[in-house]
Amino acid sequence: EKAVNLKKDLAEMQEWMTQAEEEYLEKDFEYKSPEELENAVEEMKRAKEDVLQKEVRVKILKDNIKMLAAKVPSSGQDLATELNIVLENYQLLCNRIRGKCHTLEEVWSCWIELLQYLDLETAWLNNLEERVQMTENLPDKLDAVNDALESLESVLRHPADNRTQIRELGQTLIDGGILDDIISEKLEAFNARYEELSHLAVSRQIALEQQLQTMRETDHMLQVLQENLAELDRQLTSYLTDRVDAFQIPQEAQ
């Protein structure tokens, strides 16, 4: 009777493993939304816990069959053979579910990481847009133009590492058919805004550089002119003080 019950337990265990494999490993998942992906991750975590909890039952079966085999070798031999098959299948099931759970967790982590990088770069784009707007309607003063140019250049000196991560993470998920529509839409919008703003910022940078150069040249010319006028004023003052006749001084002084 004990052998019959153990045989029945082995059969039930095998049946449960077959159902678990069909439910967790053979089902065709499509992850078209973050909610679907997150639900799949949680489901696989529960599946892993469920399978691992059966380890106690498998150990009890193993111990009982060993005890029976020691007492009744003829009955225990057949059960031992079935037990080995069940043990192999159970170990394979555990490994596969662990593997799939790990893969889904990695995919979810990849998605979260992509969102974090997108948030960082979006904040940078917002800052860049703000700096570009600050370059409009500047007062016609050298210091103001110079400060605006330095401020814009400081934002433009932004490393490309984050954008590289966004491209690689997005491509990895898209290649796996995971959230491909959502990610493609996000990347397209981000890249379009990045190209537009960076092009506008570089154009404004060049314009400010040219404006600054012109203002510096003008300031230099005015400085030279002021120096020449000051020297001329000094000479004229000297002539007046010495009561020099106009016809006795150089033509430019006349």
Q: Would you call 15 exposed, middle or buried from its count of C-beta atoms within 10 A (0-12, 13-18, 19+)?
A: exposed
Question: Higher model confidence: residue 245 or residue 217?
Answer: 217
Query: Given a cut of 80, is residue 82 above it in pLDDT?
Result: yes
Q: Give the residue-averaged pLDDT of 143-164.
A: 93
Q: Rg (Cα) of the chain, in Å, rounded?
A: 40
Whether the CB-CB separation of 61 and 9 falls below 8 Å is answered with yes
Per-residue pLDDT, 157: 92
Task: Indicate whether 216 pLDDT > 70.
Answer: yes
- The average pLDDT across 138-154 equals 92
**CA dihedral sign of residues 120, 121, 122, 127:** positive
**pLDDT class for 96, splitting at 50, 70, 90?**
very high
Confidence label for 75 from pLDDT (cuts 50, 70 and 90) = low
Average pLDDT, the chain: 88
| Residue 232: band (very low, low, confident or very high) from pLDDT cuts 50, 70, 90 | confident
234-253 residue pLDDT tens: 988 887 787 666 566 666 55
- Mean pLDDT of all residues in 185-202: 96
pLDDT in tens, 97-113: 999 999 999 999 999 99
158 DSSP 8-state letter: -
Res 177: pLDDT: 85
Which residues are CB-contacts of 66 (< 8 A; sequence separation ≥ 6)?
A: 76, 80
Closest CA to 26 of 96, 88, 75: 96
The pLDDT, as a whole number, for residue 137 is: 87
* Predicted TM-score (pTM) of this structure: 0.78
The DSSP 8-state label assigned to residue 249 in this structure reads: S
pLDDT of residue 83: 84
Concatenated DSSP letters of 9-54: HHHHHHHHHHHHHHHHTSS-----SHHHHHHHHHHHHHHHHHHHHH
User: What letters, b where the CB count within 10 A reaches 16 and e where it falls short, cover 126-137?
Assistant: eebbebbeebee
pLDDT at 74: 67
Please give the share of the chain, as a percent, with pLDDT higher than 90. Answer: 57
| Residue 22, pLDDT score | 86
Q: What pLDDT score was predicted for residue 84?
A: 86
Number of other CB atoms surrounding residue 183 within 10 Å = 21
**What amino acid occupies position 211?**
Q
**Statement: 1-211 belongs to CATH 3.30.1490.100:** no
Amino acid at 250: P
123 contacts: CB under 8 Å, gap ≥ 6: none
Residue among 57, 54, 49, 58 at smallest CA distance from 24: 49
